[in-house]
Chains A and B, each alone.
Chain A
């Protein structure tokens, strides 16, 4: 318990001391970890369970789940994930005033 309080205190003070740029990077890194975690689940994680997916009663559009994930599911999730990531990163950049001036 006391350890937890110490930890919070430390991270809190650290947070206060961080410059704008450090805070921006901290948030960017957090976003990276979240993005990579989702990526890991759908590119690696689920394929440890190929046989279970094959036998699963969840059958999107009637396809076996393993087949579905390899030919549409994971692929589609990656597309959405990249756009989501880009949006979040733009928000972070905006928050810290790092948005580029000229836009296309």
Chain B
């Protein structure tokens, strides 16, 4: 096949792709000037990009196990970094993060620190060693390092719980975006999203997901950065907002004081009229994550969760070498940094453009009827993401009379700031790319664990390659549908589910993974106790807190991973020490893992 040549030509191929995408944006801009409707532009953007991903998915089809599970282990460092960044940055990062910062400020930014700092742990504690191991999946490492089906199965359970919580959120996000951009009802849009996700991953497994994720990264980073730079320029805040927004940050503080932030409150009766899910900007930032411990505990959970989420870890199984795996983590974080460092800038620009009376876009202080007549207000009010109401009946819009959904910060700001609609279409395509790429990685992580670890390693070790890969694909579809069905129920918001997923992963997998490499004495009994005990303790704490238990140490339902992982650590160490040390062969295996050169522990085809 074209494989060898394909890898050598990667920069050229993706360079052409990026150029083509920019040409497409320009064509759309011209079409808009020529009078193409906003709705049609949105449909074109989402449909065109999704078709491209599906095409890449089709071209990457494979019937080989190492291509299906680890993309043939030949993904170059920088490209794997891009794929990981897309895999990592979900609908939550893309659509919800700037909104979270907008409403909650500094306290919320614990997530930024947590979602980046975790990569230091990935690079130093785990990724290179798991790459050396040569496993196909994370439970594959646990099962081989500790030995025994029970350890393998426990890892599969934790992986499934964490990833499944996460994937419902992502399918929910693809549904939200597809429903807005394509103008179809949410519960149908969810399945449209699912179909796109499956098209990317079903035929080619990890190989297809890798190459679509690189393509998706390119779309999502353009879609995020272009509006940020454009708006900043337009508002006269400077060409490069990352270095030049200090005055704007200060100005927001000034305006907030002027509009009476923290003093004006809404009565319960008033708030009842506000549609569910929308938030006001009256809450002072200082009220969120008030104590350092709240900030730090959330960051710690996100960091340890990063290092234990299998869909991230398995990206580093695809690099050609241990050295490449290590460097690739750095590149991943660099590509993530590009978006994360822009989110606060977008939040700042968005807030200022709505609040500053000196700007044409400012609405606070304008008359209510005037605001209600604005085009974008009507659009986003219809989409249930914006709401104003004259509570005190004085006819002007006050700070406490404006409400907005978190998602609107990314989705609506370009429109509010007066950018052409083509940018909004681009943003929708970017959000779709972000949610799809993460969903792909997650669905694949779960179905790979079930097909490789449960079916092949435990149920039918004699299955031939073709049969294994068919089972893998059937599972992929089943998991996708299960995820979509639950997503359609909308139990928990996007961001809440994502944070839970980190806590679940951290509770069950963090210490069993880390100690598997760094503590030779850790054995199967300890690992099983650690995984199951941690998961159960964490889940029990979550359920208790959800049902009114006040909790202790200031651990909330967003940080229950702290309890889970501590229980996991203690159980793992105590049980390991109480039972027999691992045999000499296992100890040799750990020694082998610790040096980068030499053969992988598990063969190329296993």
Known: A62-B246, A79-B330, A99-B597. A104 touches B320 (CB 8 A): yes
Point out the residue from B77, B119, B591 that lies within 8 Å of A78, measured CB to CB. Answer: B119
The answer on a CB contact under 8 Å between B334 and A79 is yes
Q: How large is the interface on A (under 10, 10 to 19, 20 to 34, 35 or more residues)?
A: 35 or more
Q: Find chain B residues with CB under 8 A from A102 CB.
A: 320-321
The answer on a CB contact under 8 Å between B243 and A61 is yes
How far does the alpha carbon of A28 sit from the alpha carbon of B123 in the complex, in Å? Answer: 13
The answer on a CB contact under 8 Å between A83 and B337 is no
Q: Find chain A residues with CB under 8 A from B124 CB.
A: 31-32, 35-36, 39, 85
In the assembled complex, the CB of A15 is this many whole angstroms from the nearest CB of chain B, namely: 18
B67 within 8 A of A: no
Mask of B344-369 contacts with A, CB within 8 angstroms, 1/0: 11000000000000000000000000
Mask of A29-42 contacts with B, CB within 8 angstroms, 1/0: 00110011001001
The answer on a CB contact under 8 Å between B112 and A81 is no
In the assembled complex, the CB of A92 is this many whole angstroms from the nearest CB of chain B, namely: 10
How far does the alpha carbon of A82 sit from the alpha carbon of B124 in the complex, in Å? Answer: 8
A7 within 8 A of B: no
Stretch of B45-53, B222-230, B291-299, B486-494 that contacts chain A: B291-299
B506 within 8 A of A: no
Point out the residue from A43, A62, A89, A90 that lies within 8 Å of B303, measured CB to CB. Answer: A43
How far does the alpha carbon of A98 sit from the alpha carbon of B132 in the complex, in Å? Answer: 12
Q: Find chain A residues with CB under 8 A from B323 CB.
A: 86, 90, 93, 99-100, 103
How far does the alpha carbon of A85 sit from the alpha carbon of B110 in the complex, in Å? Answer: 24
B284 within 8 A of A: no
Q: Find chain A residues with CB under 8 A from B299 CB.
A: 43-44, 47
Q: Within residues 246 to 301 of chain B, which ones have a CB less than 8 A from any CB in chain A?
A: 246-247, 249-250, 292, 295-296, 299-300
Q: Which residue of A lies closest to B289 (CB)?
A: A50
The answer on a CB contact under 8 Å between A24 and B595 is yes
Chain B residues touching A, majority SS: helix
The answer on a CB contact under 8 Å between B123 and A43 is no
How far does the alpha carbon of A102 sit from the alpha carbon of B319 in the complex, in Å? Answer: 12
B322 within 8 A of A: yes
The answer on a CB contact under 8 Å between B243 and A50 is no
How far does the alpha carbon of A47 sit from the alpha carbon of B299 in the complex, in Å? Answer: 10
Point out the residue from A32, A63, A86 that lies within 8 Å of B246, measured CB to CB. Answer: A63
Q: Which residue of A lies closest to B122 (CB)?
A: A82
How far does the alpha carbon of A85 sit from the alpha carbon of B323 in the complex, in Å? Answer: 11
Q: Find chain B residues with CB under 8 A from A89 CB.
A: 128, 326
How far does the alpha carbon of A24 sit from the alpha carbon of B598 in the complex, in Å? Answer: 15
How far does the alpha carbon of A25 sit from the alpha carbon of B591 in the complex, in Å? Answer: 9
How far does the alpha carbon of A59 sit from the alpha carbon of B249 in the complex, in Å? Answer: 12
Point out the residue from A32, A67, A86, A96 that lies within 8 Å of B326, measured CB to CB. Answer: A86
Q: How large is the interface on B (under 10, 10 to 19, 20 to 34, 35 or more residues)?
A: 35 or more
How far does the alpha carbon of A49 sit from the alpha carbon of B292 in the complex, in Å? Answer: 7
The answer on a CB contact under 8 Å between B119 and A82 is yes
How far does the alpha carbon of A47 sit from the alpha carbon of B598 in the complex, in Å? Answer: 42
B340 within 8 A of A: yes
How far does the alpha carbon of A77 sit from the alpha carbon of B461 in the complex, in Å? Answer: 46
Task: Kindly name the residue among A66, A72, A102, A104 whose own CB sees the greatest number of chain B CB atoms within 10 A.
Answer: A104
The answer on a CB contact under 8 Å between B337 and A76 is yes
Task: Kindly name the residue among B77, B113, B334 whose own CB sees the greatest number of chain A CB atoms within 10 A.
Answer: B113
Q: Find chain B residues with CB under 8 A from A36 CB.
A: 120, 124
Q: Which residue of B lies closest to A80 (CB)?
A: B330
Q: Find chain A residues with CB under 8 A from B245 CB.
A: 63
B33 within 8 A of A: no
The answer on a CB contact under 8 Å between A75 and B330 is no
Q: Which residue of A lies closest to B108 (CB)?
A: A70
The answer on a CB contact under 8 Å between B249 and A63 is yes
B109 within 8 A of A: yes
The answer on a CB contact under 8 Å between B246 and A79 is no
Point out the residue from B120, B244, B321 that lies within 8 Å of A100, measured CB to CB. Answer: B321
Point out the residue from A43, A64, A97 that lies within 8 Å of B117, measured CB to CB. Answer: A43
Q: Find chain A residues with CB under 8 A from B125 CB.
A: 32
Q: Which residue of B lies closest to A69 (CB)?
A: B113
Q: Find chain A residues with CB under 8 A from B595 CB.
A: 21, 24, 93, 96, 98
B333 within 8 A of A: yes
In the assembled complex, the CB of B486 is this many whole angstroms from the nearest CB of chain A, namely: 33
How far does the alpha carbon of A84 sit from the alpha carbon of B594 in the complex, in Å? Answer: 19
In the assembled complex, the CB of B298 is this many whole angstroms from the nearest CB of chain A, namely: 10
Q: Within residues 303 to 357 of chain B, which ones have a CB less than 8 A from any CB in chain A?
A: 303, 319-324, 326-327, 329-330, 333-334, 337, 340-341, 343-345
Q: Which residue of A lies closest to B300 (CB)?
A: A44
The answer on a CB contact under 8 Å between A47 and B296 is yes
How far does the alpha carbon of A24 sit from the alpha carbon of B322 in the complex, in Å? Answer: 16
Q: Find chain B residues with CB under 8 A from A62 CB.
A: 246-247, 250
In the assembled complex, the CB of A86 is this many whole angstroms from the nearest CB of chain B, namely: 4
Point out the residue from A25, A66, A81 that lies within 8 Å of B120, measured CB to CB. Answer: A81
Point out the residue from A32, A64, A71 that lies within 8 Å of B341, measured CB to CB. Answer: A71
B596 within 8 A of A: yes
B147 within 8 A of A: no
B76 within 8 A of A: yes
How far does the alpha carbon of A104 sit from the alpha carbon of B325 in the complex, in Å? Answer: 11
B479 within 8 A of A: no
The answer on a CB contact under 8 Å between B121 and A39 is yes
Point out the residue from B120, B128, B249, B295 that lies within 8 Å of A64, measured CB to CB. Answer: B249
The answer on a CB contact under 8 Å between B597 and A93 is yes
The answer on a CB contact under 8 Å between B76 and A104 is yes
The answer on a CB contact under 8 Å between B321 and A78 is no
B116 within 8 A of A: yes
Given contact pairs A43-B303, A79-B337, a sample of 6 additional A-B residue pairs in the complex whose CB atoms are under 8 Å apart: A47-B113, A74-B113, A75-B341, A82-B119, A86-B330, A93-B596
**Chain B contacts to A: CB under 8 angstroms:** 76-77, 106, 109-110, 112-114, 116-117, 119-121, 123-125, 128, 242-247, 249-250, 292, 295-296, 299-300, 303, 319-324, 326-327, 329-330, 333-334, 337, 340-341, 343-345, 591, 594-598
The 6 closest A-B CB pairs, nearest first, are: A62-B246, A43-B117, A70-B109, A71-B344, A82-B330, A39-B120
